[in-house]
Amino acid sequence: MRSVQTCPCPAFQHFDYPAFGDVGSREYLLSKANSDAGRIGARGMAACLNTFDNEQAAPSDGLVVSTLQILSQSDENEINLMITRPVGDECLPCVYYIHGGGMQSLSCYDGNYKAWARLIAANGLAVIMMDFPNALYPSSVPEVAPFPAGLDDCLSGVEWVRENSATLNIDPARIIITGESGGGNLTFAAGMSLKQSGKLGIIAGLYALCPYIAGRWPAEGCPSSIDNNGILLDLHNNRRAMAYGIEHLHRRNPLAWPSFAADIANFCKSR
């Protein structure tokens, strides 16, 4: 049996990270997520992340936070946008942020993201974080759905932000898409989708943090996928790919798993 390391972050020390095996269906994962144990685990994770939301870590002085609800262009489901920006009427550059969670869990309203939005906005930026349908556990929107539901909503949201930039008081020429982990996956996928549809010009750039772009681990040529597995998650199984849409992994679809793109930097570069 392979070993699973202990997470060094004190905030996560009370969580167990056992090694999991493969599963045979997405339905099995949904049943586990909707079980009493699954719900308790999700609430525990949210409570842990909320400990990061404090004034010492991320002061709110001089900032204003609001929420907007819009409809997705693809299937008219609800998208929630959390907007954090400095007080005032200055037209600001916009950071359109897609939260992490492996495209299957978490919410931009979790405490770590609320704090992160304040830290970014304090630099004179408008930060728009959005909640999309996760693949397993609901965010602030009730739907759960596999690929491409989350990506479709990310695209709908950024197009809506660009079209309503005057009302939002943001500079339409300075909108970037960014996100971490699963949000990094969706950042790259959104860039590729916008380029394919001829709309890449609506954004000024992409910035992905530790993007979760491969659906199968461990990966050849990535020793850290072995050395660091289990520090926060055990990724040596098919569970996340199964939740998001394993058929797209088998098809090597770069919009679902951007590691399959021949050259992400070239594919997403500005015109």
d(CA 104, CA 111) in angstroms, rounded, equals: 18
Residues in the chain: 271
The predicted structure's pLDDT at residue 267 = 55
d(CA 268, CA 254) in angstroms, rounded, equals: 12
CB 176 within 8 A of CB 146: no
The predicted structure's pLDDT at residue 155 = 97
The predicted structure's pLDDT at residue 16 = 55
The predicted structure's pLDDT at residue 13 = 54
The predicted structure's pLDDT at residue 89 = 95
Which residues are CB-neighbours of 55 under 8 A, at least 6 positions away? none
Q: List average pLDDT for each run of 10 residues in the chain, which is 271 residues long.
A: 50 59 95 96 94 96 97 87 97 98 97 98 98 96 96 97 98 98 97 95 96 87 82 86 96 95 62 39
The predicted structure's pLDDT at residue 108 = 98
pTM to 2 decimal places: 0.90
The predicted structure's pLDDT at residue 46 = 95
d(CA 269, CA 257) in angstroms, rounded, equals: 18
Q: Which of 161, 23, 7, 188 is nearest to 95 (CA)?
A: 161
